[in-house]
Amino acid sequence: MRSGNGASYQPGRLPRGARPRPRRSTYYGPASHRSRVFVLTVLLASLLLTLLARLAYVQLIDPNKPIQSAGLTHLGAITVPAPRGDIVDSRGRVLVGNAAVQVLTVNRSALDALDDKGIAVLDRLAGLIGTPAADLRREITPCGSTVPAPCWTGEPYEPVPVATGISASVILAVSEHAEDYPGVAVQTQSELSYPGGSSAAHLLGYAGAVSEADKKTDKALVDADTIGRSGLEESYDQVLRGVDGTQYVDLAPTGEAVGTGPSVAAKPGDTLVTSIDSKVQQLAEKSLSDQIATSRKAGNAAPSGAVVVMDPHTGRIIAAASYPTYDPALFVGGISNADYAKLTAPAANDPLVSRAIAGQYAPGSTFKLVSLSDDVMSGAMSLDGQYPCPGSLTVDGRVKTNYDGESFGGAITPKFALQVSCDTFFYAPAVAEYYADQARVDKKQKPLEQEQAMARAFGFSSAPGVDLPADEQASGTIAGRATRQARWDANKTQYCADAKRGYPEVTNPTNRAYLTLLASENCTDGWRYRAGDNADLAIGQGDTTLSPLQLATAYSAMVNGGTLYAPTLGWAEVNQNGKVTKTITPKVVRKVPVSKQVLDFFGDSLHFDDSHAVSGALAFDGSPIKTLIGGKTGTAEVYGKQDTSWFASWGPVQPGQPVSNAKYVVVSMVEQAGTGASAAAPIARKVFEGLLGASAPAISPGGHPATVLPKIAPTVRTTTAASAAPSSSPGAPPAATASQSANASPSANTGQSANASHSATASRSVTSAPSGLPDAVPTAGTSMGRRR
Amino acid sequence: MTAVLRPYRPTTGPSRSSGRLRSYDRVLLVAVFLLCVIGALLVWSATRTRLLDEGANPQTYLAKQVLNTALGAVLLVLASRVDSRLLRLLGPALYLASILGLLAVFVFGSTINGAHAWIVLPAGFEIQPAEFAKLGLILALAVLFGQRAERRAAGMPPRPRELLGALVLAIVPLGLIMLQPDLGSAMVLVAATFGVFLSAGVQTRWIVAMIAVGVVGAVLAIHAGLLAEYQLARFAAFTHPGQDPQGVAYNITQADIAISHGGLLGQGLFHGAQTSGAFVPEQQTDFVFSVAGEELGFAGSAAVIALFGVVLWRGTRIALAATETSRYVAAGVVCWIGFQAFQNIGMNLGLTPVTGLPLPFVSYGGSSMFAMGLAVGTLEAIHRTNRQSSQR
């Protein structure tokens, strides 16, 4: 540009003198300015030509045209929740499955397209399903700042479930008279089903709706999902959850669905194979509840109990029953307020808590496994020695008696002491150990606390590490100097206050005096770990508590020669093609520091013969399998209550054969039901009779736990996605426009409503369940809060 | 305003009215008129479904646009009757008024689409002083160069002192507009200044130097964070449209979809899927060209570009015929219209970054229409003076 025009600036080239007027004479002015304007013209022309070229390319040439918005930005996405994986037992029987349920849905945009905005359709529908039309109208109205609950929290174009589990006549009415019900559809959805009813409820747990907090911690979760809330459903949630699918719907600019778009199928969750044997589980549950009924008839309170059946060689749980129990099906689709209130009422006695795994009880004499191990391993006792078993023993100024004060005179062998369950026999070494430790404490040395160490080695006072949520397994307590001090530090103010107060609310003067004395002792000396405490520990009393599961694990270690397992329920994960993706192998926690000789001695000593030599044998009188079983009773005294009845047993072991031949360990426990032999042992008897086939064929084939993984058939599940009914006539330009983004989500939350007149949740993906059970408080209305 | 009007008495022609019309550049008028008609139809098409959806009269925008056009036509006629020699008086006055307007924006202004650029008037009207500042700056620069030109030897390029004065004149409104911030209008101001400088004979090396400084300044501004967040986002969306399809890039994507599906003849007025679906935000204003692209196809939108070609052709023709101040004004106006049209259509076609600029004569909006009326009126006034001079 410069080179071309530079010369024209030379003054010499321009007419002088007559400036600037002469330019008028030429229409287009002097050359210099003309060339400048010419440059401008060229520039502008090139701009326009650029536009034309680009326009031609975009409109006529470009082969990659962007997809029209009618098919792109206004594709609405409806989440198709993935069916949760099944939970099956060790023989492949379904414990938690998926059932197809018929759900009646209403498509709001289809109704809106009608002349009367769907009033007539809703009225007809109301008559059909017995829900007031006004309620239906509210339910399908998308939530918004001005829309109070109940309202629809999903996308406006999503079909809203208004009734679930509908009858065949309703389905027929809607499908036969489709013209009367535009926008109304019947969908099949998948929801959890429990073929065994409440069986194994505590192990399986339950699943519920996703909460806002869940969505924060796991971005993959959406409202439509179901999340495991307890039990295996919670601990294996990632395995069972699957991957949600998406059904796309074509949306008119108005936001209404006008057709069905592509879909991405949901990937069902993997199947979890467990070591549970559902037949054994049912037998354990029935035996437990039967015994509780019997115990109650006999005048005992027997409020609760538990049974654990374990494979002692792997630590796998074959059955774990807990009484009272609950029906996990109540949680499907969100538990109603009434049901939840019932489950949590004091009268219900906490059915949600697993007594077998989360319960903590004084174990009584079943704890003598630990005492004997400690006494022998520490050298305080010899297996072939003889030691006294007096009727009573004074420890630290207090008289401690045998159960019912019985005495076997003179010195007895450890075997006999175990068989008759002599307490005083085990007091002496425990007290001696205590004083030896006190001497060390006085010398500023660390106490050995061998008894406590042995208890911990057997897995007590720490979580058993079962593959269940951490808050659903009890650790129990083993008292010692440190724990006592810690407890006192935490509670001394309360102790002293209670001592001062004197328990005026307790009416019984004896109890009042006892409690007050206890409080004042605790106030001043509560930190002190006494010789009597160590004696109590030796017989599983005092502060000693543990769960039936922990006891089964410890007895399994005794049977298998000393290996302490972390008990497991999960056995394998199988994907939807039936392929095993992961086998869950039992985890060894440790070898207990006890010689096999001592463990075998314990098992052999407590093996039943035809006699009543072993205290638990009484309960097996008349049973054909009596001589195949060994077991230790426990009768734990609880202040102010009846005794806790325990029985820890193993079998089958042919007489004279090593205890490690036993295939099962069965631990049973009934609270406030009397001696171990009177309540707990009969339960174990029924379980063993079933396991070993005493009267009928054995319920576990071969008389042993399953050793091979069951074959799991590939999953075929039907979950139809929402199909949006076309609602606007094609060809005509859409009448109105709505949101630009199909992904905008309504801001309002699921509401709380007191309208309990009907329950209309569709599936577990449409729930209003309290999401954090058992801690969370349920929302106020039954099943009315909407979730997708 | 009437004080500066000098009724034109025809010296030739059979009748007063026909003579008056003949004194105009009728080709220019016809092109502008056609653009306005097309604009009104496109605005109508772009807004009717949305208005229907809101339950409003679907012709609301059309009616307002027709009113805007009519007012613009009145301004055109008034401006065309101003003797171009009065520009020396009018230029500085309009310049000062527009500077005051730009300052007023900071006091009474409202923010629309990220820019604090509007003064809202009663009865649903808004004024965007930046639109008038474009004409004001062109006139002021032209007057500055014109006055000096008389004192120079003919054809002598402006001296550095004049150049400095011109730069100061340009920088004041430019700075105020950048503060709003309205990048598009600022770019138009630069383009118009370029047109005046070019036509006024400013040496090429100065122009090149200024462009260089401008580019470096822009780069520095981006790096120093002087640009507003939304402006950077628009640039990012321009360079990477796939990045944020629901955000800033949404406009680009939707306009692209609309235009690319126009084909040769378009989907027909009122029948564009994207347009009637109201997918394109700001479609009646900044993205009005996408309506043309979708509904009128290549034929229709090329015709729109061609009409701009006619307007620019007639504009440069008038500039060529004019002298000094008038020539500079004409060149500035042509640059203004040309660049603004290019920038607007370019962003519709994904060629240039998105900046809030209306398409002259076509986009919905009062201020733009009024300013364009004044601009074309000024061109016509210059044209008439040219004719008078040449006939003399």
Q: What is the mean pLDDT of residues A290-299?
A: 95
Q: Which ipTM was obtained for this model?
A: 0.89
Best mutation site among A36, A64, A739 for testing chain B: the one with the most B CBs within 10 Å?
A36
Most confident residue range from A329-333, A718-722, B25-29? B25-29
Instruction: Name the residue among A40, A48, A254 with its Cβ closest to that of B331.
Output: A40
Cβ atoms B228, B213 nearer than 8 A: no
Q: CA-based angle B214:B217:B223, to the nearest 5? A: 145
CA–CA distance, A392 with B158 (Å, rounded to integer): 125
Model confidence at B314, pLDDT cuts 50, 70, 90, reads very high
What is the per-residue pLDDT for A567?
96
Distance of CA B250 to the CA centre of its chain: 25
- Joined tokens for residue A122: 């809703």
Q: Do A571 and A274 meet the contact criterion of CB atoms below 8 Å apart?
A: yes
Helix (H) or strand (E) holding A435: helix A424-442
| CA–CA gap between residue A570 and residue A273 (Å, rounded) | 6
pLDDT at A129: 83
- How many Å apart are CA B328 and CA A135, to the nearest integer? 73
| B278 vs A224, more confident | A224
Nearest CA-CA distance, residue A177 and chain B, Å: 32
A34-43, A338-347, B119-128: segment of lowest average pLDDT: B119-128
Taking CA atoms, what residue in A is nearest to B306? A48
pLDDT of residue A60: 87
Predicted local confidence at residue B140, as pLDDT: 92
Contact yes or no for A549/A320 (Cβ under 8 A)? yes
Per domain, the residue ranges of chain B are: 25-385
**Residue A483 burial (10 A CB sphere; 0-12, 13-18, 19+):** middle
Min Cα distance B107 → chain A (Å) is 34
Tokens for A645? Answer: 């009845």
Question: Does residue A324 have a cis bond before it (omega within 30 degrees)?
Answer: yes
Query: Which of these ranges, A110-119, A748-757, B164-173, has the smallest mean pLDDT?
Result: A748-757
What confidence score (pLDDT) does residue A725 get? 37
The distance of B305 to chain A (nearest Cα, Å) reads: 7
Cα distance between residue B351 and residue B358, in whole Å: 16
Give the residue from B351, B352, B387, B388 with the most A CB atoms within 10 Å of its CB, the best one to mutate. B351
A108–chain B nearest CA distance, Å: 18
B298 closest CB neighbour out of A2, A14, A60:
A60
Q: Residue range A345-351: average pLDDT?
A: 90
Cβ-Cβ contacts under 8 Å for B213 (sequence gap 6 or more): none
Rounded distance between C-alpha atoms, residue A621 and residue B176, angstroms: 104
Residue B259 is nearest to which of A23, A28, A58, comparing CB atoms?
A58
Q: How many residues does chain B have?
A: 392
Write the CB contacts of B59 (distance below 8 Å, at least 6 apart in sequence).
B44, B48, B51
Q: What pLDDT was estimated at residue B200?
A: 87
Residue with structure tokens 């009928």?
A: A696
CB contact under 8 A, B264 and A59: yes
Give the DSSP letter of residue B287: T
For residue A57, give the chain B residue with the closest CA. B260
Evaluate if residue A176 carries a pLDDT over 50: yes
The pLDDT > 70 percentage for chain A reads 83
- Give all domains of chain A, ordered by start, each with its CATH number: 2-45 (no CATH), 75-268 (3.90.1310.10), 278-327+349-362+545-702 (3.40.710.10)
CA proximity to B202, closest of B149, B147, B151: B149
pLDDT reported for residue A696:
79
The pLDDT score that the predictor gives to residue A145 is: 57
pLDDT at site A295: 95
Helices (H), A133-246: 133-140, 168-176, 201-204, 212-217, 231-235, 237-241
pLDDT in tens, B204-239: 888 888 888 878 877 776 666 666 666 666 666 565
Q: Answer for the pair B87, B142: CB distance below 8 angstroms, yes or no.
A: yes
Quick check: B277 and A62 CB within 8 A? no
- Of all residues in chain A, the one with the smallest CA distance to B254 is A69
Q: Which of A71, A67, A744, A253 is nearest to B246 (CA)?
A: A744
Contact by Cβ (8 Å): A478, A460: yes
Report phi then psi at A504, rounded to 5. Answer: -65, -20
Task: State the DSSP code for B279.
Answer: -
pLDDT of residue A714: 82
Name the most confidently modeled range: A24-33, A100-109, A348-357, A778-787: A348-357
Mean predicted lDDT score pLDDT of chain B? 82
Q: How far apart are CA A284 and CA A694, in angstroms?
A: 15
Residue A11 C-alpha, separation from nearest chain B C-alpha, in angstroms: 7
Tell if the CB–CB gap between A60 and B263 is shorter than 8 Å.
yes
Q: What percent of chain B has pLDDT over 90?
A: 33
Exposure b/e, B214-237, CB count within 10 A at least 16 = b: eeeeeeeeeeeeebbebbebbbbb
Query: According to the model, what pLDDT value does residue A669 have?
Result: 96
Is pLDDT of A386 > 90? yes
pLDDT of residue B224: 65
3-class SS at B203? Answer: coil
Q: How far is CA B17 from the centre of its chain?
A: 30
Q: Mean pLDDT lowest for which of A200-214, A252-266, A503-517?
A: A252-266
Top pLDDT among A71 and A131 is at A131
Task: Locate the chain A residue with the closest alpha carbon to B313.
Answer: A41
Q: For position B125, what pLDDT does the model report?
A: 67
**Cβ neighbours of A61 in B, within 8 Å:** none
Chain B residues whose beta carbon lies within 8 Å of the beta carbon of residue A732: none
Contact in structure between A112 and A297 (CB atoms under 8 Å): no
Instruction: Give the DSSP letter of residue A589.
Output: E
Residues 6+ apart with CB under 8 A from A703: A652, A663, A691, A692, A693
Distance linking the first and last C-alpha atoms of chain B: 28
- Taking CA–CA distances from B293, the nearest residue in chain A reads A59
Percent of chain A with pLDDT over 90: 46
Indicate whether B330 pLDDT > 60.
yes
- The full length of chain A comes to 788
Tokens 């023989």 correspond to A91
Q: Are A229 and A206 in contact (CB under 8 A)?
A: yes
Place of tokens 């300044």: B217
Binned at pLDDT 50, 70 and 90, residue B41 comes out as very high
A104: enclosing H helix or E strand: strand A94-106
Crossing angle for the helix pair B297-321 and B366-391, to the nearest 10 degrees: 40
Instruction: Please name the residue ranges forming H helices in chain B.
Output: 16-22, 26-53, 60-80, 87-108, 129-151, 160-179, 183-199, 204-223, 229-239, 249-260, 273-276, 288-291, 297-321, 324-348, 366-391
Mean pLDDT of the region B343-357: 87
Are A455 and A537 in contact by the 8 Å Cβ rule? The answer is: yes
Higher-confidence residue of A77 and A339: namely: A339
Which pLDDT score is estimated for B16? 45
Residue in chain B lying closest to A1 (CA): B204
Alpha-carbon distance of B33 to A372, in angstroms, equals 110
- What is the pLDDT, as a whole number, of residue A565? 96
pLDDT at B3 over 50: no
pLDDT tier for residue A263 given thresholds of 50, 70 and 90 = confident
Q: Are A98 and A194 in contact (CB under 8 A)?
A: no
Residue A739: its chain B contacts at CB < 8 A?
A: none
Under 8 Å CB pairs connecting chains A and B tally to: 193
Query: Which chain B residues have a beta carbon less than 8 Å from that of A73?
Result: 245, 254, 279
User: Does residue B263 contact residue B302 with C-beta atoms inside 8 Å?
Assistant: no
Alpha helix stretches (DSSP H) within A57-161: 108-112, 119-129, 133-140
Residue A768: per-residue pLDDT:
28
CB contact under 8 Å between A62 and B260, yes or no, is yes
pLDDT tens for each residue of A448-502 = 999 999 999 999 999 999 999 999 999 999 999 998 999 899 998 999 998 888 8
Which two structure tokens, joined as six digits, stand for A597?
Answer: 């000789």
Cβ neighbours of B159 (radius 10 Å): 12
CA distance to partner chain B, nearest, from residue A55 (Å) = 7
**What is the reported pLDDT for A612?**
82
Q: Indicate yes or no: CB of A740 within 8 angstroms of CB of B351.
A: no
Check residues A325 and B284 and name the one with the higher pLDDT.
A325
Provide the pLDDT confidence category of residue B151 given band limits of 50, 70 and 90.
low
pLDDT digits (tens, 9 = 90+) for A233-245: 999 999 999 888 8
How far is Cα A729 from Cα A570, in angstroms, rounded to an integer?
55
Asked if the Cβ–Cβ distance from A20 to B205 is below 8 Å, we say no
**Percent of chain B scoring above 70 in pLDDT:** 80
What is the chain A residue with the closest CA to B341? Answer: A48
pLDDT in tens, B243-258: 444 455 667 777 788 8
Per the CB < 8 Å rule, is A33 touching B205?
no
Average pLDDT of every residue of chain A = 81
Tokens representing residue A90 in the block: 């060790």
